[in-house]
Amino acid sequence: GGSAAYFKIERETMKFVVLALACGSASAFVAPSGSATSTALAAARDELIALAEANTDALGKNLGFWDPLGASKLDFFGLELAGRLPEGATIGYLRHAEIKHGRVAMAAFVGYCVQANGIHFPWTPFPGFTEGLSPPEQWAALPPVAKWQFFVYIGILEALGECFPAGEHYALGGKPGVYPSLKTPNEQMASCGVYPWHGFPADLFDPLGTVAKLSEEKKERGRRVEINNGRLAMLGIFAFLSEQKVTGAVPFLTGLVKPLPDLECMGPFVGTDGVSAIF
């Protein structure tokens, strides 16, 4: 019926999504895969190294290939060695995760700077809004239902990106960082009945359509710039939160951000903000 069609996606893609979510517990039950794993991953890792060394922008040229934890040598859950996922699936997953986290961090960093300087819409953004609060305090002032609706919406976007990729899934040989069009849904998304009747006025990625008009050379450079800026933004937003939590943790920011020793930045839904507070 309709519910079955809703969840109709490629079997390999669903397996990877479920296993990725279970990474924390499942990895403890995977036996060492030996030297065969490094052989299976060699081509994908060489490609990753070449990509890193080709990054000649200010941030990239002095860094090169930097993998202190050896993540590029991993085979998550042994699925590549077992033949259940193609070579390079783990690296594809890690590349996609870095791009996605970089994009979120860029939005968070810019949002933090804007809100910290008192810039907001001319109307009251939400009931209970108070002027002069720092970004974490403003988040704490949001009603629990408002917080949860953010994450429900993010979950919907995440599910669309994982289940209905544009082209091949990033773990199956597709290009990392690509998000499917919402304005013009692909055939799989449209046939599963999850696309709303009212449609979407713009895409989440490239909403103005400017990237599609660029040359391949400019697109390639844009991807390098995005990765560099995303890495810097991840450091930036954590610097803000670290200094607010522990005064002096980031000496450059001491005195510039408001100290919040009780800040629970890694537990945004603790206490009265838990699920039980909604019902």
The string of DSSP codes covering 119-132 is: ---SS-SSTT--TT
In 3D space, the residue among 84, 71, 76 whose CA is nearest the CA of residue 13 turns out to be: 84
What is the block-wise mean pLDDT of the chain (279 residues), using blocks of 10 residues?
A: 39 40 35 42 73 71 78 78 79 90 95 90 80 86 82 89 87 86 84 78 83 87 88 94 93 91 72 57
Identify whether the C-beta of residue 260 lies closer than 8 Å to the C-beta of residue 244: yes
Identify whether the C-beta of residue 134 lies closer than 8 Å to the C-beta of residue 266: no
Q: Would you state the pLDDT for residue 4?
A: 39
Q: Would you state the pLDDT for residue 30?
A: 35
Q: Distance between CA atoms of 85 and 79, rounded to whole angstroms?
A: 6
Q: Distance between CA atoms of 32 and 57, rounded to whole angstroms?
A: 37
Q: Could you tell me the two tokens for 244?
A: 């607010």
Q: Which amino acid is at 180?
A: P
Q: Distance between CA atoms of 143 and 164, rounded to whole angstroms?
A: 32
- Judged by DSSP in three states, 5 sits in helix
Q: Would you state the pLDDT for residue 230?
A: 93
Residue with tokens 């519910």: 3
Identify whether the C-beta of residue 249 lies closer than 8 Å to the C-beta of residue 243: yes
pTM of the full predicted structure? 0.76
Question: How many CB atoms within 10 Å of residue 33?
Answer: 17
Q: Could you tell me the two tokens for 47?
A: 């490609």
